[in-house]
Amino acid sequence: MESKQPKLIAIDHDDYHAEYVGKTDDGRQFFLTTPFEPMREDDSGSEFVALYIFDGVGQLCEALIDNLGPRQSMDIEYRRQLCAKRLHDLGNIHFSRIEVAPFSVERFGTEFGLVIRVPEDIEDCWAVEAQPGNYMAFFEPWESGEYDT
């Protein structure tokens, strides 16, 4: 059976990478996360806070992304406060399952989002990866709400 490119993926709320997914009282959906660019020989990498806001049918409305700099010099308390502020600014929220469309936006010269990829090691199998950092990967069935790390 050939895999199909997803129109929507489900993300179930959990205590790990999907700790901050849910809905607002006005019907929007949100995903607050901390993507990263890993450190490499010639690059110190970067840590980010990203809040993705979707409408009620899962289309991206807004991507608020902050660059916190390299991991070794990042202010962890500032990151915690920024995450709390982003959640507070959404108003009344409920952590729960969301169903959203894959998307990609560019900020700071980097691709962010829930990005569709065709894995090189699995023929005819689509994936959706949280980028940058590829710290969550979703596969069919798209409505499962589960991800690989």
- Tens digit of pLDDT for each residue in 32-62? 999 999 878 877 889 999 999 999 999 999 9
In a domain, 148, yes or no: no
pTM of the model: 0.92
Task: Say if CB 26 and CB 91 are below 8 A apart.
Answer: yes
Cβ burial 75-113 (10 Å sphere, 16+ → b, else e) = eeeebeebbeebbeebeebeeeebbbbbbeeeeeebebb
- 91 lies in which domain range? 9-143
> Which tokens sit at 14?
């959990």
Inter-CA distances, 104 with 52, 82, 117, 131, Å: 11, 22, 11, 9
Whether 42 is covered by a domain: the verdict is yes
Residue 42's pLDDT is what?
78
149 found inside a domain: no
Residue type, 110: T
Instruction: Work out how many domains the chain is built from and give that number.
Output: 1
Confirm whether 47 is domain-assigned: yes
Q: Is the pLDDT of residue 78 over 90?
A: yes
Whether 87 maps to a domain, the answer reads: yes
Lookup: tokens for 136: 């969550």
